[in-house]
Structure 1
């Protein structure tokens, strides 16, 4: 049995409609090396580099100019803006990229955030009796449909010899899932980042599994439009250098990340817990990542999360190979 609460629209369908209805927008190459950035409100490396000036500095060194048309709450609307030609770069998760590519095949990953795979996981509420993945059977689990939480849950269940029909998924946006979890309206929650840390800290909550415990592969990825790669590979390289510099700055001063989360509204203890984790490092989107992305695409199709296997063969570019 599946419970749907405010079901999320299919991203691929939304992108297809948006692309069909949008007026054509000139490629970035038609402007004077202008980079239009669409950072997310989450405190990933691109958001921090935009906020702290590292990105502006590198773009200026490459002879370009930086524009900030909008900040986005999630990858889905940012991907829609990229499909409409409104921005050139944004950030998402590998899992969010899969359905987005079905609506817009011109999304290209150029940088990956490699970490200890400890920022995504499944948490059970107090007095639910859930201590392991197998204990989730018959229980309600909040997930964001088609995204990180949905993927995490399905990977965990598959590893335990179960499938999605063995639980009762409740499809909620992260803010709504937080409310439902705190109020005991769902028994468990598959989530990430500050949502995960906040859920873990609730009285009686149990961490069921982290992504690394179940073999889930879903890194944060930085995405550009194909037109930017073609017209301005120099700006893509500048983007990569800025992300590298920003990641190194956080390693040198973790309080920068803590301050960013606090400024974004996270509770002080949550911000401190996030900053205490080993910060991600920036690595190229290489052949190994391309294989991981293809495996995620195959998982999505095999588990009915997409109707067909997404072609990711052109969705990765290694910055070291750019002219």
Structure 2
């Protein structure tokens, strides 16, 4: 799940005091990788699938690598742990998360991305709302998580409609609080991502006003601690291949995948299947287009004063499959 603004602030503060942080338990890598420590969230579909099947344990055992798993509640604490050397690899995080980590001075390597899923986040209104186009949001109260990918989608959608963030009344709310505000009518619109998007569509009959098509690609990124990526590229290649195969399986078996994942995230299988249908799950190496959009997100947030400083995404290493 995308973290709230408060967790972003905690991440920036924690990164500044990185040396004081305590390490997660784990086996020292020593001269060669004896442990691969992976951080994940409940939304990390592909990594959780690999974990449940022990795919990586089986593939890496002949190399003498043991896999260790650590669950996080949101993306920024996960990347904080990665930067501190407490884990080696991060499961997917949303596209707005890496710029915050980089702005805090994190040394991260882009390992993989899922191809764009622009329909997996959207601006929604209630079914009976008179609002039919983004321009009609002028003067309205709009809910979204500050600094999330939804925030970037708002900026892009407003700009396309000839408006700016100053033309609306932002309500910076967590998904749970935003949904409550949306359903009681105290906000005119809500900008949200899947599976929350699928849930509010199915359960509250929300109507999509504008999704990310042509505005925000909504890529998911997998990152590694740069020292690990430099010295253990062969381990990352095993993980990459396993993730790619897992993504292919989810898309080929949508009903089975949804039934498997639904209990883990507390949603019904039909809602999970609807959300999964909008997400590509196509794992690829990180290309120039993906990095260019990372830079656009970073620049947009820097202009808004959400990032503490400008970020040069091109300065971050990118792992390439051999």
Q: TM-score range by the shorter chain?
A: 0.7 to 0.9
Contact persistence 2:120–2:218 (CA under 8 A): no
Deviations 1:6-62 (A, max 9, x none): 855525523324414225899964375111011111143223222333333333354
- What is aligned with 2:232? 232
TM-score of the pair, normalised by structure 1: 0.88
Corresponding residue SS for 1:35: strand
Offset, 1:260: 3.5
Corresponding residue SS for 1:263: helix
Deviations 1:289-313 (A, max 9, x none): 2222222222222333224321212
Contact persistence 2:5–2:145 (CA under 8 A): no
Count of residues in correspondence between the two structures: 315
- What is aligned with 1:142? 143
Deviations 1:220-246 (A, max 9, x none): 111111121022111111111111111
- What is aligned with 2:221? 221
Offset, 1:136: 1.2
Unaligned runs of 5+ in 1: none
- What is aligned with 1:21? 20
1:183 aligns with 2:184: yes
Contact persistence 2:123–2:208 (CA under 8 A): yes
**1:11 and 1:218 mapped to 2: Cα distance?**
24
- What is aligned with 2:64? 63
**1:144 and 1:163 mapped to 2: Cα distance?**
17
Offset, 1:148: 1.4
**1:243 and 1:71 mapped to 2: Cα distance?**
18
CA shift in 2, pair 1:201/1:234, >3 Å: same
- What is aligned with 2:171? 170
Offset, 1:122: 0.8
- What is aligned with 2:130? 129
**2:184 and 2:59 mapped to 1: Cα distance?**
46
Corresponding residue SS for 2:195: helix
CA-based RMSD: 2.6
- What is aligned with 1:97? 98
Corresponding residue SS for 2:313: coil
TM-score of the pair, normalised by structure 2: 0.88
Corresponding residue SS for 1:215: coil
Which shifted more, 280-289 or 298-307?
298-307
Kindly report which structure 2 residues correspond to 1:47-58, keeping only aligned pairs within 5 A, or say none: 47-58=48-59
CA shift in 2, pair 1:7/1:124, >3 Å: farther
Deviations 1:140-181 (A, max 9, x none): 111111111211111111111111111111111222222222
- What is aligned with 1:267? 268
**2:162 and 2:245 mapped to 1: Cα distance?**
42
Contact persistence 2:8–2:100 (CA under 8 A): no
CA shift in 2, pair 1:65/1:305, >3 Å: same
CA shift in 2, pair 1:101/1:51, >3 Å: farther
